[in-house]
Amino acid sequence: MRLVLYTGKGGVGKTTTAAATAIRAAEAGRRTLVVSADSAHSLGDVLEQRIGPERVEVAPNLEAIEVDVRVEVIRHWGHVQQFLVELFRYQGIDAIVAEELALLPGAEEVVTLLAVEEFALSGVYDFIVVDCAPTDATLRLVTLPDIAERTLSVLLPLFETISSVAVPLARKIVSLPLPGSEVFRDADELLNRQLRALQQRLTNPQTSVRIVLTPERMVIDEARRAWTELSLFEVSCDAVVMNRILPDEASDEPFFEEWWRLQEERKREVEEFFAPLPVLFSPLQDDEATGLERLSRQGACLFGEHEPDAVLSVAPRVRFEREGDGYRASVPMPGASLDRLDVAKIDDELTITTGVRRRVLKLPRSIALLDLLGARLDGPSLIVSFGSADGA
């Protein structure tokens, strides 16, 4: 089952591109689902059909849905949310405010992925296209399973052990709402099955992110950072989509001449920076691309001879290999700057921090006993060397 997630800065045309991709695939006979994971749903507007939290057929071989995160939160860990609501209300917080506070950080992102995972496992679809929220929310979406699993795997057993002893005693003394076994059961289900399944899905070779951008400086810079951070977590990008491209004829028009020249510079910059990823170009439309017919034409123009569900590029993975008398880790980080990276080894883990993202890699046993000797950038990869600091 093929999964593609579209992301990019707000307003660059993610929803239109996702819908055009899905329609093109459906026309080729793929059983396709297009999912809106952006809380500001606009998929229905683009398709010119009413779309809601239940899957609806919008064309032959094509269904669409706008995920309702509140419904999904209740369905997947309602006991945890209910406990938090009771706790906040006990402290005198208004019921509506308490329900808002009980939406755990990252909960919206996780339940969206859980819904997508269920669709993927159903066996109903050949291809799922996800219209994600703007870039930063998407980065939380795809990196949260790795981070949350690592945190919960430590905290959950500790809290459960304390609770089994302290809660029965505390209930006899205080009226404060206390977590019951069902709260820990939901949390354990999240850790031991759901998050691990999501992590496997996101790093599966059949899952790709496609970054949508326009020929504007701020948009391109954000896309570059996104590619670096997605690569750190081994979430594969297989293509870049560049929207709103002026046709060549515009170069002959005085009004568009400078605009077209700048656009050509930005196109070359994007192609060079994101190489070897293919860059797909979508022309500036004379009107909004909405409705099945116009979206189909846009999909045909965008993909040309490519199949919309093809894996357009294969991204490298983290590798551990021999280097002289020691070892090295090769971590894909295209576009990274060494002065913005923090690399550290703590016990048997390698920690890499860039901006607000941090990934912790478990080291193989043969490397865990060695010292971290240094880190350098070699093309699109971060090379981290391990060995004996005293040369022994």
**Are 72 and 115 a contacting pair, CB within 8 Å?**
yes
In the predicted model, is pLDDT for residue 153 greater than 90? no
What would you report as the CA-atom Rg of the chain, rounded to the nearest whole angstrom?
24
Confidence of residue 236 (pLDDT cuts 50, 70, 90): very high
pLDDT attached to residue 326: 93
Place of tokens 């950038």: 377
Q: What is the pLDDT of residues 160-175, one digit of tens each?
A: 554 554 445 444 444 5
Q: What's the confidence (pLDDT) of residue 190?
A: 65
To which H or E segment does residue 97 belong? helix 95-101
Name the H helices within 172-216: 181-189, 196-202
What is the token pair recorded at 259? 């605009």
- Mind listing the pLDDT tens digit for each residue in 293-328? 999 999 999 999 899 999 999 988 999 999 988 999
Q: Does domain 319-387 have CATH number 2.60.40.790?
A: yes
CA–chain centroid gap for 196, Å, is 15
Most confident of the ranges 174-183, 197-206, 321-330 = 321-330
In this predicted structure, which of 40-54, 75-89, 187-201 has the lowest mean pLDDT?
75-89
pLDDT at residue number 171: 47
Burial profile 155-174: b = 16 or more Cβ within 10 angstroms, e = fewer = ebeebbeebeeeeeeeeeee
CA–CA gap between residue 143 and residue 7 (Å, rounded): 14
How does residue 191 score in pLDDT terms, banded at 50, 70 and 90? low
Identify whether the C-beta of residue 327 lies closer than 8 Å to the C-beta of residue 387: yes
Are 280 and 299 a contacting pair, CB within 8 Å?
Answer: no
What is residue 354's predicted lDDT score, i.e. its pLDDT? 87
Return the sign of the alpha-carbon dihedral for residues 240, 244, 250, 256.
negative
Q: What is the pLDDT of residue 172?
A: 45
User: For residue 181, is pLDDT > 70?
Assistant: no
pLDDT over 70 percentage in the chain = 77
Give the CB-side neighbour count of residue 192, counting CA atoms within 13 A: 8
CA distance 120 to 197: 11
pTM exceeds 0.85 for this model: no
Q: Kindly indicate whether the domain formed by 1-315 is annotated with CATH number 3.40.50.300.
A: yes
Q: Give the residue extent of every domain in the chain.
A: 1-315, 319-387
Structure-derived torsion over alpha carbons of residues 15, 16, 21, 23, reported in degrees to the nearest 10: 110
**Of how many residues is the chain composed?**
392
Using the predicted structure, report yes or no on whether residue 176 has a pLDDT greater than 70: no
Residue 100 and residue 25 in contact, taking contact as beta carbons nearer than 8 Å: no
